[in-house]
């Protein structure tokens, strides 16, 4: 992510490919955290869910965030928090798979 908070064209292209953008393919999304936006006024500040996206359609699950890390577009976030949130989601009936890893932009 650049200093303006935008992803590079290469990162956006890889995300579109990995998430199967405009192909109407299902992904698993797990809410791993909520963060406040850095809005200029308190009235416009909001909690934004931080998601972990996983393509479970193939023989191997593909964690899109971790794939963006592997490709050099992002860096890993706190794995303990991610794993605890994913396990809690799975325990609450949110899905049988327990994906690991999350990412945020590093460009």
Report the 3 state secondary structure along the chain: CCCCCCCCHHHHHHHHHHHCCCCCCCCEEEEEEEEECCCCCHHHCCEEEEEEEEECCCCCCEEHHHHHHHCCCEEECCHHHHHHHHHHHHHCCCCCCCCCCCEEECC
pLDDT of residue 49: 85
Instruction: Return the pLDDT at 99.
Output: 40
What are 31-89's pLDDT values in tens digits? Answer: 988 887 776 666 666 788 888 999 999 899 999 999 999 999 988 876 666 666 666 65
Average per-residue pLDDT in the chain? 76
* Ranges of each domain in the chain: 9-105
Q: Residue 13: pLDDT above 70?
A: yes
What pTM does this model have? 0.62
């Amino acid at each position: 992510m650049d200093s303006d908070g935008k992803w590079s064209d290469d990162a956006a292209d890889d995300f579109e490919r990995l998430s199967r953008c405009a192909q109407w393919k299902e992904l698993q999304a797990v809410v791993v955290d909520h963060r406040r936006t850095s809005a200029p006024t308190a009235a416009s500040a909001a909690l934004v869910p931080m998601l972990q996206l996983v393509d479970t359609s193939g023989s191997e699950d593909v964690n899109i965030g971790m794939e963006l890390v592997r490709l050099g577009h992002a860096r890993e976030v706190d794995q303990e928090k991610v794993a605890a949130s994913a396990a809690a989601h799975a325990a609450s009936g949110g899905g049988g798979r327990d994906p690991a890893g999350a990412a945020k932009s590093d460009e």
